Amino acid sequence: MLTFEHALGEVAKTVNVMMNHVLPVASGPEKKVMEAMKYGVMNGGKRVRPFLVLASAKLFNVSEISALRVAAAIEMLHSYSLIHDDLPAMDDSDLRRGQPSVHKKFDEATAILAGDGLLTLAFEILSDPATHSDPAVRSDLVLALAKAAGADGMVGGQMMDIEAEHMNLDIGAITRLQRMKTGAIINFSCEAGAILGKAADQSRQALRAYANDLGLAFQIVDDLLDVVGKEDAVGKSVGRDQQAGKATFVSILGIERAKSQAKLLAEQAKGHLSVFEDRADLLKAMADFVVNRGH
């Protein structure tokens, strides 16, 4: 896995440079929100979603600048969701990757505004002609991200997660929750390359199928790490789901079945990529990485 982790680290560095480049700067009293946006984004994240954008874009010979800008936009959006999820009224998390969360480092009002600013910035980046010369591509990117991030996607998934805290969800309901809360953005990350490259339907469908399985495997491993992971390796508090009485893939399937299910999904994800022959090695390596992380 050393080689893949190196590749992932290199992508993170490049994406961080691009994010730094597109973040707003200011000198007036409003600069506090810019500082909070930067703090929330530059959090040492692995940049899994940007990696998916770059790896899928590579399949269609998309220019690196285009792919990097879309990768940056997705990570801005992902960071906004973490900042708002950490708020006292939501998950009330004081730590994020071992550092104070944004509302702890700044304050709640600034954290709310920083999230709002990052969400808005994601759409500004996608619609900027610097991202792609074809306005149809830019408009498609915006539409696809808005659908993935909105009430029928991530925002609805987070609402469902809060509402379901003390419901006895079955495996179907948990799967639906995951597809909305985290799956939709992972799907978009993989499809973004196809949108940028104006790929044929068959390629899009293959990437969508890969992303569906990858996202589910990712969530199952997340649930596993919450049960069996060590706090310093995972980088956030563990055991929170159990404390909250939350139904998870692990609470329903048990540890062993959850592990084998994640592995099965990763294999299945890789299988969908056969249409790209040997050009999808990075995406395949990501599927392996997802089920092996934290070990």
Is residue 245 near a copy of itself by the rule CB under 8 A?
A: no
Count the Cβ atoms, other than its own, within 10 Å of residue 139.
Answer: 13
φ and ψ at 96, to 5 degrees? -140, 115
> How is residue 46 written in tokens?
């692995």
Cα 45–chain centre separation: 10
Q: Where are the beta strands (DSSP E) in the chain?
A: 95-96, 99-100
Q: Which of 210, 186, 158 is nearest to 74 (CA)?
A: 186
Site string for a copy of itself, 59-98 (x = CB under 8 A): ---------------------x---x--x-xx--------
Among candidates 252, 208, 202, 197, which has minimal Cα distance to 227? Answer: 252
177-180 LR contacts (CB < 8 Å, sep 24+):
178/215, 178/216, 178/219, 179/212, 179/215, 179/216, 180/152, 180/153, 180/154, 180/156
- Interface stretch with a copy of itself, choices 39-47, 121-129, 253-261, 285-293 (CB under 8 A): 121-129
Rounded distance between C-alpha atoms, residue 107 and residue 142, angstroms = 30
| Residue 252 makes contact with a copy of itself by CB under 8 A | no
Applying CB under 8 A, among 102, 180, 269, 290 the residue interacting with a copy of itself is 180
In the complex with a copy of itself, the residue whose CB is nearer, 181 or 272, is 181
| Residue 107 beta carbon to a copy of itself: minimum distance, rounded to whole angstroms | 7
List the one residue from 14, 63, 99, 127 that touches a copy of itself (CB under 8 A): 127
d(CA 210, CA 280): 11
Phi, psi dihedrals of residue 168, rounded to the nearest 5°: -95, 80
Q: Among 4, 14, 100, 142, which residue interacts with a copy of itself (rule: CB under 8 A)?
A: 142
Q: Which is nearer to a copy of itself, 10 or 134 (CB)?
A: 134
In the complex, the smallest distance separating the C-beta of residue 227 from a copy of itself, rounded to whole angstroms, is 23
Q: Does 162 participate in binding a copy of itself (rule CB under 8 A)?
A: yes
Interface segment toward a copy of itself; rule CB under 8 A; list 30-38, 187-195, 254-262, 273-281: 30-38
Query: Does 105 sit near a copy of itself (CB under 8 A)?
Result: no
Q: Which residues bind a copy of itself (CB under 8 A)?
A: 24, 26, 28-30, 32-34, 37, 80, 84, 87, 89-90, 107-110, 112-113, 115-117, 119-121, 123-124, 126-129, 134-136, 138-140, 142-143, 145-147, 149-152, 155-160, 162-164, 167, 176, 180
